[in-house]
Each structure stands twice: as C-alpha cells, then as structure tokens.
Chains A and B, each alone.
Chain A
Amino acid sequence: MVSIDPVTRIEGHLRIDVEVEGGVVNDAWSSGTMFRGYEMLIRDRHPWDAQQVMERICGVCPLVHGTAASYCLDDATHVDLPENARIIRNLCLGANFIQSHVLHFYHLTALDYVDVTAVAEYKGNDSALQLLKNKVENMLKAGDVYPFLPRYESPDYLSDPEVTATLVSHYVQALEMRKKGQEMLAIFYGRMPSFVGTIPGGVTNPPTSSNIAAFGAHLDELRKWIDDVYIPDILLLAGVPAFQPLMTAGDSGGNYLVYGGFDQDQSGTEKFLPRGAIYDNNIMDVKGVDETKITESVKYSWYTEASEGLNPKEGKTEPDIQKPEAYSFIKAPRYDGNHMEVGPLARMLVKKHDMMVKLATDLGLLNPPVKFGIMPRHAARAIECKLIADEMPEWLVQLKPGEPIWDPKAKEIPDDSYGHGLVEGPRGALGHWIQIKDKKTANYQAVVPTTWNGSPRDKDGNRGPIETALVGLPVPDVDNPINVVRCVRSFDPCLACAVHMIHPEHNGVKEFRVV
C-alpha cells in the first residue's frame, strides 16, 4: 500500500490531530504540513506577474487570489478603477461564490449527512429518481459505491429513501450548476480556473450587449436553482432532529472578522458584504476593522522568530523547520491579539440580513448562551449564496458598453511603493500585500482564509478557530470520528486534511483523511 500522508491535494495540506477522552475531544492541533512559498516565487519579478502567478496559489479559488492581487496592484500603482471594471470584478467574484458554495455543500459536505445506500430502497414513481435508484442498486451489487462510500459510520445519517434519493439527484444536478457558474464567469474572464481578464487597473474584456445578456441568462438559471433546490435542502438538513446538537457544537469561540467584499463605489468605502469584527459572540456589537491590528504569530509555525508578531505589510516568509514546538507551515494570524473565524458565518453575522436573522431566530440560535456551530455555518453559506446571486442582476444593468474598462496608469510602476488588496472570497477574508522596490516586487504576502481558520496556536498558546471548534465535540466512536470531519469541513478548508486521532486508552494513532 502507498502511504499518502501527507498528500498533496486541492491547494494545500491540512492535518488535524485530536485527543479524545470519554467520548469528547479534549484537545486539537491543526497543522498545514506542506510548504508552498508562493510568495517567494515572485520576488524580484515585475509586479504585474503577481496577478497571474498568485492566482495559481490555488486551483479551487484562483479567482479570489487574482482579484485580491489586482486590487493590491491597483493600490500600489494608485489607479482610479473605472466603474465597468469594478462591476465586472464583482460579477465574476459573485459567480465564483455561487459555484464554490454549491460545490462545497453538495460534493464535499452532503455525504457527511446523507446515507446514499438508502436510495436503493426508493419506492416512488419519479422516473429520474427511479433511474438513480437503479444506478445505486447496480453499484451496490457490484460492491463498489465509490465515491459515496467508504465513510465514517454514524447512527444519525439521513436514511429516508425519498429524501435521500432527492438529495442525491441534487448532487448530480449540482455538478451541472457549478459548471454553469464557471461558464458564467468565463464569459468575462475566458476560463476558470486560471482565468484571465482582470489586470492591475481594470479588466481586459469590455462589456457588450451580447456578453451582458449571456451572463444574465446563466444567472437567471442559477438563481432559480438556488431558490428551488439549494435553500430548501439546507433548511431540510437544519430541521433534522438528529442534527440539532450540531447547531452549537463546533462553535469557534465567538470571534469573527470580515474585511468586506464587493465594493459598491470606486473608493471601496461601501461594500455589499460589510466590514466588521465581532468578539465573544456579541453579535449586536460589531466593531470597525483596523488593518494595522492584524499580526501573525509564528511560535508554533515553521518560520524564523524574526517574523513573530509582524503585520503582513512587513511580513516575512523565512522557513525554519528546526523549531522544537512548531507543528505547522500555517502562520497564526491574530486580530487585536484574538483568533478570528472568517467566512460566510462571519459575514452573515456582521451583515445581519433579514433572512439570516429569521433563520437564526427560528432555530433558537439567539437564545443565550449564543453559539454558532456546524449547522449555522452551512446555513450562512447557503443564505450568502442566495443574497449575492439575487443582487447580481442589479450590478449587471449598471455596466456601460463603450465606457472605459482600464486605467493605463497601472502601467506606470512606481520606483518604490506599497499596496494592499483586501477582499472576501467564498472561504473568508483574504489579504494580499505588496512592497515594490526599484520597480520590482520586493516582498509579497498573502494571508488566506484558511490561514485564519486553520491556524495553529499563537505565542500565548491560544488555539486557532478550527482547533477551538473541535474541543468539546462529541466523538462517541473513535473509529468513526464523523463529527470531527463534519466540523472541519463546515469551515470549507480548501486543502487536504489528515486527521490523526490519539486515543489515550490504547495510545495508538489512527490516521484519517478529510476530503
């Protein structure tokens, strides 16, 4: 057999160790075990290279990185971003949110909750579901139900044949829907992943009546599917009595951070997803965000002590793998000294749209002690997907064919300059920072959403958000740590995970991988 721990997958490599005692997680460690060093690849290169190289830091969310890099270089070259460019960037980012959230819920998460084998018991008359039933039956007969099995066994899987057959048919539909989301994005950006079309100072593909119409047609279809399928499915899951403990289990500690996303004006002051910071689950007290309060701790990360406590503007990428206490290549970003959860839940708690407030009220989440666990994280992602998709037609009609799409000032690279690009991606707050010296990239830093969520302990020994969320999680059967993977996946970590479970009684180490 081939050992695949660690394995390179998606765009990184996360390993989780949890210690279980008495059926409950009592400690957890989150480790990124692969060194990428992308920031080092672009040193001394033309600053514009950052846009094309940094988007390849991740094949799942290249769009967000490319967009952050564009804003970063816009800032460094002091451009005035044309309205058309701002809107096209928002539309494509929105398309990316839709395809990413759909992919996460159906293809990466749903199998944690749904017993696919139950489809074989389907007795209804829907011809499409009958077809599906035959397929699953054949797979079961052949003895291979991959990719639906193997899985961690759990008594609480949804196993009603009607419900599971419907959900599995949605799994198949979702493949087409996310493809449609990517096609929509490609209307302006050519292809996805590794898109082209946004550059420092603007975009390269102008709006025309035909590409606006094509984009709108794709969007209409996706919006209908989100309303008819995605939202009802998430509500169905949230209403299952067996999953009620997951409403509060997996709370990351109550600190949330949002940089803000989708600029609504040229200065970026007004944003569709507003900025904000929340501490200790005080969701009614949203604080402003001060970028200078971001620091990165490296006490438990394989980087030299020289970068301890630095703001990313001055950040360093200097590996040191001999540090005795280190266990991760992920740094530990902190805001005002606190670990912060980033992502859809953070954004929806800051935005407090009526739909989110109503759902939280219905689910009893606003009763003290206020805690938002695994299921609210999924619900927030679905609601966000709908809110963005519903807003996009408003943006689409604001495009003006024939008006500028690019500010040529971006070509004038200053001798020395600094720029930052803070955006929101599907998985959370993303920041890129560039220092330009002698017209070349002297330093580049990226702090990605999973750096925030998957961070190790900081210099004070405080756990990162995923580590915190895991502690206290019920794990009745150490051979089937379903709740551990449910919790880790609810953050949508965009990387491979190896779950190493240390069981104090037999002192053995089991290795599991989160997909």
Chain B
Amino acid sequence: MYIATVDFCACGGCLNSFLSVGEPLLSLLGEHTISFSSLLADRRNISPSDVVIATGGIRNLEELDIAREVSRTSRKVLAVGSCAVHGGIPGMAPLSEEVASLGKDSELPELLEEVEPLDSCMNIDLYVPGCPPTPEVLFEALKSVLEGYAPFHYDGTVCSECIRRVERKPVKSWSAHPGAGLPPEDCLLNHGLLCLGPITRGGCFAVCPSRGSRCMGCRGPSDMVLSSQLHSMHSDMVKFVSLTTGIKENKVEKVLGGMLKEVYLFTRCDPVIRSKANEKLQDGRGGGPS
C-alpha cells in the first residue's frame, strides 16, 4: 500500500513521534511504499495514497484545498495528534480582526476565522489524539489500518491508567499550575491541582501525572464526555471534583468557571466540544470569566 504523511497547521511533533517508532518503521518499507513524506524526503507533490497520516488542523484556505484534495484521492485518512483531531493549541488563537484578515488581497493564503479540526473537511477513518500520540499508539494505529483489523480503543480515562490514588477529602484552594514535590502516590486533585485525568481519554499511560505534572487534556474528552449531550468537559470535571472533595457542585462550578481556559486548552475550537460547552466558551478567547 502507499502511505503518505501530510502536515497542515502542525508543529512537527507528531511526525517526530512517528519517527521515534524507530526500526519497525523501515520494516514497513519491505511490504509498503511511502508515497509522500516531507519529513523524510524530497518528493514535492502529494500523490494519491492508500493511507494518509494527517497532522495539524486547518488554519488557512490553502490547507483547506489540500485537505479536500487529499480526502478525495486517498482511501484511508488517519487524523493524528490533538491539532488534527480537535484543533489543538493553535485553536486557541486570538483571532483579532487584524490577524483574521491576514492573507486577504495578498499572495499569502488567507487565514480562516477559526482553526478547524480535520474532520471539518475530510473523511477521517481513524482518530489518533494526543499531543503527540506515543510512537507505540501511532504505530499500532497505522498497522491496524494497513492490516485491516480494529485497533485497540482507549475508552478509559487517564485516571484509569494513573498510579496515583484519589481520596475523598476537602481541598482548600485550586490551581492549574503545579508546584513540585507532591507525594508520588497522591492524586493531584487532592492537592488542589486541576488535573484533567478524570475527563481525558487514556492511551498515554498517564505519563504527565506520573512525572508530577497535571494532565492538560491533550488527548481530548473521553467516550463518557463525548457520548451524550448531558456531558461536557467542564460539567464532568465539576462532578468529579465535587465527588472527590465533598464540596457541592455549584461551589465547584464557581471555582472552575474561572479556569475554563485550562480545561479547553487543546479543544477550544472543536465544534462538537464547543457546542457541548455552549455558553461557557462564547468569548472567543478560550475561556469564560477569568
């Protein structure tokens, strides 16, 4: 099969992770052919491919055109990384009028008003979220498409993979910015850190909490959050924090209301997630009251 890697509004991190697969990547060349990869070689035009590893969201009109063309000429498309799946960090762009008009009446490609995830303009066959996804998850996803089997579905949350243990006890104050030196077995929420593990899709093996950093939600919401209109990232976070601390939900809501920017760091521009967050994210800058 012909495999291509195509980048849109991406930083290169996902392809960096792809390269970290190491030697197994070269073993693919025995059976399959890489038809295009600007990371690896000099070929200039994207040719029709069987499998496309697409990274980055859509930021300008030129990327939109390329995405539509790739969608039309490819058999399977993998949306790889937080930007491709949810818009990612560039999705929090403060698109002032000044910036939004960039590219108008010039040779440069015109910017879109919002960064868009790839499924706004392409048929996506497999979503591989993460900033970036680990080489193992990425390689497994690619192999599953090449060999035609269903890949492992990470339907659990980051918490389900975390070695830290949560206790039901009150918390005095909340912060999205961790310090260091917390006991390695304690849940970060118990120390007042806004760790997004309870609402974030697993598959990263909770590597951030294990190194003392809070989960920032890079793999996007879990199946639970996505499954119904009754759930949104912040409402589920409020419920979980309330359960953990014993503080009433409306009080937690007040605290978290000021920290929404942190909850939607990687997903602010995703239309599905925005619609669930409804009025909470209407200021266009990635957060409500702050």
The interface of chain A, by Cβ under 8 A from chain B, is: 1-4, 6-11, 33, 35, 37, 40-41, 43-46, 48-49, 52-53, 56-60, 62, 103, 107, 111, 135, 138-139, 142, 144, 146-152, 172, 175-176, 178-179, 182, 186, 188-194, 196-197, 199, 201-206, 318-319, 321-322, 404-406, 408, 410-411, 494, 496, 511-513, 515
Bound together, the chains give a CA A403 to CA B54 distance in angstroms of: 44
Interface centre among A176, A178, A196, A322 (most CB of B within 10 A): A196
23 contacts between A and B (CB under 8 A): A7-B7, A7-B66, A8-B56, A9-B38, A35-B102, A41-B90, A41-B92, A41-B94, A45-B261, A49-B177, A59-B11, A59-B15, A107-B19, A135-B29, A144-B33, A175-B26, A186-B207, A194-B131, A196-B207, A204-B213, A321-B102, A322-B106, A411-B177
Central interface residue in B9, B11, B63, by most chain A CB within 10 Å: B11
Would A146 and B16 be within 8 Å (CB), given that A41-B89, A46-B177, A176-B23 are in contact? no
Report yes or no: A46 in contact with B176, Cβ–Cβ below 8 A: yes
Known contacts A8-B8, A146-B33; decide if A59 and B102 are in contact (CB<8 Å): no
Specify which of B12, B41, B176, B204 is in contact with A59 (CB 8 Å cutoff).
Answer: B12
A11 engages B11 (CB within 8 Å): yes
Name the one of B34, B45, B92, B132 contacting A146, with C-beta atoms under 8 angstroms. B34
Q: Can you name the residue of chain B whose Cβ is closest to the Cβ of A197?
A: B211
A106 to chain B, nearest CB (A): 11
Known contacts A46-B177, A148-B41; A175/B108 CB under 8 A: no
Residues of B within 8 A of A406 (CB): 179-181
The verdict on B155 contacting chain A, using a C-beta distance below 8 Å, is: no
B151: Cβ under 8 A from any A Cβ: no
The reply to whether B42 and A513 contact each other, CB–CB distance below 8 Å, is yes
**Cα A9 to Cα B11 with chains together (Å):** 7
Contacts of A59 in B (CB 8 A): 10-16, 132
Known: A59-B132, A135-B30, A193-B13. A204 touches B261 (CB 8 A): no
* Distance between Cα atoms of A203 and B59 in the complex (Å): 34
Total B residues in contact with A, Cβ cutoff 8 Å: 77
Contacts of A206 on B, CB cut-off 8 Å? Answer: 180-181
Most buried by A among B29, B88, B103, B204: B29
* The one of B13, B20, B99, B181 that contacts A405, using a Cβ cutoff of 8 Å: B181
Write out the residue numbers on chain B whose beta carbons fall within 8 Å of the beta carbon of A56: 11, 13, 88-89, 131
Asked if B62 is an interface residue, CB under 8 A from chain A, the answer is yes
Q: Are A515 and B45 in contact (CB under 8 A)?
A: no
Q: Which residue of chain B has the shortest Cβ distance to A142 in the bound complex?
A: B33
- A70 CB to closest chain B CB (Å) equals 12
Question: Given B34, B98, B179, which contacts A408 in the complex, CB threshold below 8 Å?
Answer: B179
**Could you tell me if A4 and B45 are in contact, using CB atoms closer than 8 angstroms?**
yes
B36 to chain A, nearest CB (A): 8
Closest to A485 in B: B42
Report chain B residues within 8 Å CB of A33.
108
**Could you say which residues of chain B place their CB within 8 Å of the CB of A318?**
98
- Min Cβ gap A85→B in Å is 9
Residues on A with C-beta less than 8 A from B132 are 59, 193-194
Q: A8-B10, A193-B16, A205-B211 are in contact. Are A515 and B62 (CB under 8 A)?
A: no
C-alpha spacing A178/B208, complex, angstroms:
22
| Chain A nearest CB, measured from B60 CB (Å) | 9
Nearest CB in chain B: distance from A89 CB, A? 13
19 additional contacts, CB 8 Å, given A6-B109, A9-B7, A57-B11?
Answer: A3-B66, A7-B66, A8-B56, A11-B11, A46-B176, A59-B12, A60-B11, A151-B42, A190-B211, A193-B13, A193-B16, A202-B180, A203-B180, A206-B180, A405-B180, A408-B179, A410-B179, A513-B44, A515-B41
B68-115 with Cβ < 8 A to chain A = 69-70, 88-90, 92-94, 98-99, 102-103, 105-106, 108-109, 111
When A37-B99, A151-B42, A193-B132 are in contact, do A9 and B211 touch as well, CB less than 8 Å?
A: no
Nearest Cβ on chain A to B102's Cβ, whole angstroms = 6
A63 to chain B, nearest CB (A): 11
Chain B residues with CB under 8 Å of chain A are 7-17, 19-23, 25-26, 29-30, 33-35, 37-46, 56, 59, 62-63, 66, 69-70, 88-90, 92-94, 98-99, 102-103, 105-106, 108-109, 111, 131-132, 134-135, 175-181, 204, 207-208, 210-213, 216, 218, 261, 285
Closest 7 CB pairs of A and B: A59-B13, A204-B212, A147-B41, A406-B180, A196-B213, A59-B12, A59-B11
Give Cα A151–Cα B93 distance, bound, in whole angstroms: 37
Q: How long is the Cα–Cα vector from A1 to B70 in the complex, in angstroms? A: 10
How far is A369 from B62 in the complex, measured between Cα atoms in Å? 47
A52 closest partner in B (C-beta): B216
Which residues from chain B contact A45 at a C-beta distance below 8 Å? Answer: 261
Q: Are B216 and A9 in contact (CB under 8 A)?
A: no
B84 CB to nearest A CB, Å = 12
- Measured between C-beta atoms, what is the minimum distance from B214 to chain A in Å? 9
Contact present for B94 and A40 (CB under 8 Å): yes
Residues of B within 8 A of A48 (CB): 176-177
Would you give the shortest CB distance from B19 to chain A, in whole angstroms?
7
- Contact with B22, one of A11, A148, A176 (Cβ below 8 angstroms): A176
Complex Cα gap A193–B15 (Å) = 10
Q: Which residues of B contact A178 (CB under 8 A)?
A: 19-20
Contact status B22-A175, CB under 8 Å: yes
Pick the contact of B108 from A148, A192, A321 — CB < 8 Å?
A321
The residue on B at minimum CB distance from A45 is B261
Chain A residues positioned under 8 Å from B63 (CB to CB)? 8
Q: Which residues of A contact B7 (CB under 8 A)?
A: 7-10
User: Nearest Cβ in chain A — how far from B59, in angstroms?
Assistant: 8
Q: Which residue from A188, A204, A321, A515 sits with its C-beta under 8 Å from B103?
A: A321
Known: A41-B94, A406-B181, A496-B38. A182 touches B46 (CB 8 A): no
B22 / chain A contacts, CB cutoff of 8 Å: 175-176, 179
* A9–B12 alpha-carbon span in the complex (Å): 6
Cα distance, A2 to B177, chains bound together (Å): 44
Q: How far is the CB of B211 from chain A (nearest CB, A)?
A: 4
Q: How far is the CA of A237 from the CA of B149 in the complex (A)?
A: 45
**A residues near B26, Cβ cutoff 8 Å:** 172, 175
Q: A41-B93, A43-B94, A194-B131 are in contact. Are A182 and B20 (CB under 8 A)?
A: yes
